């Protein structure tokens, strides 16, 4: 471990998170490397630096305890997409890759980009996110088993796979009950859920996903929300060439839930349907029109959460852009 004296100004800190180790680096110079069992010591070090922002990558859940500890100390922390950080490193000429280098890159990324700060996560919200993730895993496992069933030939294999699919379906129902219980046990979650599910096309899956995996939705502007979900088309132009617009990055789980809800919303929600039909009338491809509809549904959800109102068709003039 290497440490230097406390900097005189408020620095940006990057922390590389691995399964067994933390490596931290400050934009003002100090670095530190600790085993994950030394989490309290790392938090004390970060607090001593009085940082403007701590940036770390999403690391398959290994970052959760650290984020919770930093938030508890009221230290601003942003969890960012690893691909964005790696692209930033390449663009800035940082081609070497070690844990310490990664930490320094994260500090530089935080200072240059100023990513969205993670809002405080209550234990109830963390539990809700875990339940959402578990349900998603069960659904994915059932999907894989159904694919296997299509190729099964022997009766014994068909029986075994079918039995497993039935078991997974039961576990999904159990997960739904647990999620319902978690929503009803928290008055804030329940109020948000009632607002979201009042929107035609929004069901429990999207509502829970927005509450758990996009809890900062009501505190961002529309551009930030669209980019965070990954429904903000990016330009691909150079000189005289005009390329296709594309969406990428963002929180894939939220985007998937939004996609499925929008399929329903373009039939049931007059505001979303208007956007979709307008795009199709302009001969836009199905996917382009659907992304526009997804963007509109997200804007609508955000507007109602901010205003604390339930669905009202008369608000169309406030939400259609």
What is the model's pLDDT at position 5? Answer: 44
pLDDT tier at 209, thresholds 50, 70, 90 = very high
Q: What percent of the chain has pLDDT over 90?
A: 61
> Over the stretch 172-188, which tens digit does the pLDDT of each residue have?
999 999 999 999 999 88
> Over the stretch 122-141, which tens digit does the pLDDT of each residue have?
788 889 999 999 999 999 99
- Helix 204-213 and helix 123-151, axial crossing angle in degrees, nearest 10: 130
CA–CA separation, 183 vs 22, rounded Å? 34
Domain 12-113 indexed as CATH 3.30.420.10: yes
Taking residues 229-238, report their average pLDDT.
Answer: 58
pLDDT tier at 247, thresholds 50, 70, 90 = very low
CA–CA separation, 115 vs 102, rounded Å? 17
As separate numbers, helices (DSSP H) first and strands (DSSP E) second, the chain gives 13, 7
pLDDT tier at 248, thresholds 50, 70, 90 = very low
Per-residue tokens: 160: 């075994």
Place of tokens 């978690």: 182
What is the model's pLDDT at position 4? Answer: 45
What is the model's pLDDT at position 6? Answer: 46
Taking residues 200-206, report their average pLDDT.
Answer: 96
Of 89-98, 107-116, 117-126, give the lowest mean pLDDT range.
Answer: 117-126
Whether pTM exceeds 0.85: no
pLDDT at 286 over 70: yes
Per-residue tokens: 119: 């809002």
What is the model's pLDDT at position 234? Answer: 44
Contact 79, 38 (CB under 8 A): no
User: What are the domain boundaries of the chain?
Assistant: 12-113, 122-185, 187-321
CA–CA separation, 63 vs 72, rounded Å? 14
The DSSP secondary structure of 268-281, one letter per residue, reads H-HHHHHHHHHHHH
Place of tokens 């789980």: 253
């Amino acid at each position: 471990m290497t440490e230097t004296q406390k900097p005189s100004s408020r620095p940006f800190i990057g922390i590389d998170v691995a399964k067994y180790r933390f490596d931290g680096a400050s934009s003002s110079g100090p670095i530190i490397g600790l085993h994950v069992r030394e989490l309290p010591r790392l938090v004390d070090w970060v607090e001593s630096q009085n940082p403007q922002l701590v940036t770390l990558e999403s690391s398959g859940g290994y970052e959760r305890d650290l984020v919770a500890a930093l938030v508890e100390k009221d230290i601003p922390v942003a969890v960012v997409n690893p691909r964005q950080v790696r692209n930033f490193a390449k663009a800035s000429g940082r081609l070497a890759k070690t844990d310490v280098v990664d930490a320094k890159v994260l500090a530089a990324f935080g200072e240059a980009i100023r990513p969205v700060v993670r809002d405080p996560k209550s234990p109830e919200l963390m539990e809700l996110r875990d339940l959402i993730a578990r349900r998603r895993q069960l659904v994915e496992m059932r999907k894989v088993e159904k694919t296997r069933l299509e190729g099964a030939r022997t009766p014994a294999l068909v029986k075994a796979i079918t039995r497993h699919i039935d078991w997974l379906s039961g576990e999904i129902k159990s997960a739904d009950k647990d999620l319902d219980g978690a929503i009803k046990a928290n008055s804030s979650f329940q109020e948000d859920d009632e607002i979201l599910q009042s929107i035609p096309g929004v069901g429990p899956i999207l509502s829970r996903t927005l509450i758990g995996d996009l809890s900062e939705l009501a505190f961002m502007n529309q551009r930030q929300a669209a980019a965070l979900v990954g429904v903000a088309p990016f330009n691909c132009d150079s000189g005289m060439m005009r390329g296709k617009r594309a969406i990428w990055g963002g929180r894939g789980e939220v985007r998937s839930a939004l996609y499925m809800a929008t399929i329903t919303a373009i039939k049931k929600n007059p505001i979303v349907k208007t956007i979709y039909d307008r795009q199709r009338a302009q001969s836009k491809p199905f996917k382009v029109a659907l992304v526009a509809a997804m963007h509109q549904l997200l804007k609508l959800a955000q507007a109602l959460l901010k205003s604390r109102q339930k669905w009202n068709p008369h608000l169309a003039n406030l939400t259609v852009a």
